[in-house]
Structure 1
């Protein structure tokens, strides 16, 4: 690993710790009656306080630090003041930051207020699916193996693996190679993880049909059948000894 890689990893470790704390703070503030715009404002302030920069606002045409979704909305949701958390909502917060020039990315889904036990199970399975994928990460392991571990957990519980979007490499840019799908393709057997690589591993899944459509705002992806959707994501460093989750609370 060269000096540039070492500098990148040091910056991303520090950035990941910052981002994890911000993510958890946003979750703790996401209560009934809070608007998505309020969460966005908090995110902007917390990122600035951590001496980092928002990552998502570097995406062409997107001007926010977060993507926030509820219930059947999976990703890329614009944090507007019109969207307000109500009792029983399943909320997803996706957030990224840039620390010393390097991007980090994380997402979590959670329930607010009283929810049906099926929702709690749905969220638990998503977390389990992501853990299964991360546990497979190691130098020389194929993307297929990582993705298949994720998909197997979803299949076992009857949930849909989203195929229209994928996880990705992350670092100098927000979206880099390789793609890390939830449902692997044969070609993923020929893509192998390298030591020092940093990847955003995302489980994106639905309670029903995994087909997604784009909402009228031309950003938000939501389920075509209006079923619940969820997403869990961590930025992970690939090492010879296994995974190092960078976006975990220190």
Structure 2
């Protein structure tokens, strides 16, 4: 988590202060965490991220059409790789810090970062998160969806639905000149109201020019404002909602797979958001 205040908005000496600069500096001078200038995307960068998001969405639409019981998660990985590369893009997870596949496939009690495998076969009643990230012409996008395999239990159905609602409620908390911390407060309130918990060890993040940028977007109430939200920022919201405890562990064998401590199911939805003057735009429809 970001705890220390960083005074990090700066203006080159040869440029006059704009009203935009002055507004950010007023927050900075009050001790608030504000974005660095490179976190504010220009029109060309936003358009590049938007194009990347179109490919990313196409991948998830393809998975939605193809996913079924009896399918291995390795087959999902192949679909993601083939679609992405055929559209002139690169799967961002592939070889990222040693991750061996093109997509994360997280089934039932796996919270995130599940590694596709020929041995992992989807069964009736499973719930699975497919997390897709795309690089197109150097621009990054990131989104995930939950898929229910056939018919599942009412508890799992509710978990998947509430996780999606948490994403939507978190999005509505994006207010230009508000604070990132309001997103997590809204998400936690809804999750707890429905009897679920929110993972605290992982968070959303800035994205666009790199896979992971500032700000950190926590999905629970950590009683901090977080970073100032400014038009032009691009970040993900990706709440991980658990049926039981919020606590998780990382599988020691592969060093990636995050699992709920009590091995009860988890669900997650994710979008990439652009902050606008009036609210936000989803870049990964």
TM-score category of the 2 structures, normalised to the smaller one: over 0.9
Residues 243 and 58 from structure 1, CA distance in 2 versus in 1: closer, same or farther, beyond 3 angstroms?
farther
Q: Which of 78, 94, 101 is equivalent to 2:115? A: 78
Partner of 2:238, secondary structure, is: strand
Aligned position for 2:232: 196
Q: Considering only aligned residues, what root-mean-square deviation do their CA atoms show, in Å?
A: 1.6
After TM superposition, list the pairs within 5 Å mapping 1:1-250 onto structure 2: 5-187=42-224, 189-215=225-251, 216-248=253-285
**Whole-angstrom distance in 2 between the partners of 1:86 and 1:230:** 17
Decide which structure has greater strand share: 1
**Aligned in 2, Cα 1:58/1:175: closer, same or farther, shift over 3 Å?**
farther
CA–CA distance in structure 2, aligned partners of residues 140 and 244 of structure 1: 16
Q: What is the deviation of 1:185?
A: 1.9
**Could you list the runs of 4 or more consecutive aligned residues of structure 1 that deviate by over 4 angstroms after TM superposition?**
1-4
Shift of 1:190: 4.5
User: Partners of 2:76 and 2:226 in 1: how far apart?
Assistant: 41
TM-score scaled by length of structure 2:
0.83
Alpha carbons 2:198, 2:240 under 8 Å: kept: yes
TM-score, length of structure 1 as denominator length = 0.95
Which stretch shows the higher mean deviation, 85-94 or 190-199?
A: 190-199
Change (3 A) 1:58 1:241: farther
Larger CA deviation: 4-13 vs 73-82: 4-13
Aligned residues: 247
Structure 1 residues 108 and 67: CA distance shift in structure 2, 3 A: same
> How many angstroms does 1:69 deviate by?
1.2
Structure 2 unaligned blocks of 5 or more: 1-19, 21-36
Bigger Cα Rg: 2
* Conserved 8 A contact 2:41-2:232: no
Task: Decide whether the 8 Å contact of 1:136 with 1:242 is kept in 2.
Answer: no
